[in-house]
């Protein structure tokens, strides 16, 4: 399954969080199903995400920058991090 389609499916079920600060806050207290990061996310921010996720296999870096990721999800703004809830 395409990662964008998986995110859109989760969006329909209201199981998606996007935005770095909201995602970090969620990850501090909850276990995600999947974390998607844009390739343009700065390394320091990626490190913060990795530190919060217990299983690094749940982190996927897509080959899109934040603007492309936001547009592919139908949003008129850049999205650098997406968390799919369990």
Indicate which CATH number applies to the domain containing 53: 3.30.1330.30
pTM of the prediction?
Answer: 0.89
51 pLDDT band, cuts 50/70/90, is: very high
Q: What is the pLDDT of residues 5-37, one digit of tens each?
A: 889 999 999 999 999 999 999 999 999 999 999
**Residue 1: pLDDT over 60:** no
Name which of 43, 39, 45, 46 is nearest 68 in CA terms: 39
| Range(s) of the domain holding residue 16 | 3-85
Q: How many domains does the chain have?
A: 1
Dist. CA 20–CA 48, nearest whole Å: 10
Which helix (DSSP H) or strand (DSSP E) does residue 61 occupy? strand 59-62
Mean per-residue pLDDT over the chain, rounded:
92
pLDDT at 2: 87
């Amino acid at each position: 399954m395409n990662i964008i389609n998986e995110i859109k499916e989760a969006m329909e079920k209201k199981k998606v969080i996007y935005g770095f600060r909201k995602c970090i806050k969620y990850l501090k207290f909850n276990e995600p199903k999947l974390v998607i990061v844009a390739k343009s996310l700065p390394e320091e921010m990626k490190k913060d995400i990795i530190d919060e996720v217990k299983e690094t296999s749940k982190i996927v870096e897509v080959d899109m920058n934040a603007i492309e990721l936001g547009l592919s999800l139908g949003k008129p703004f850049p999205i650098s991090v997406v968390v799919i809830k369990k």
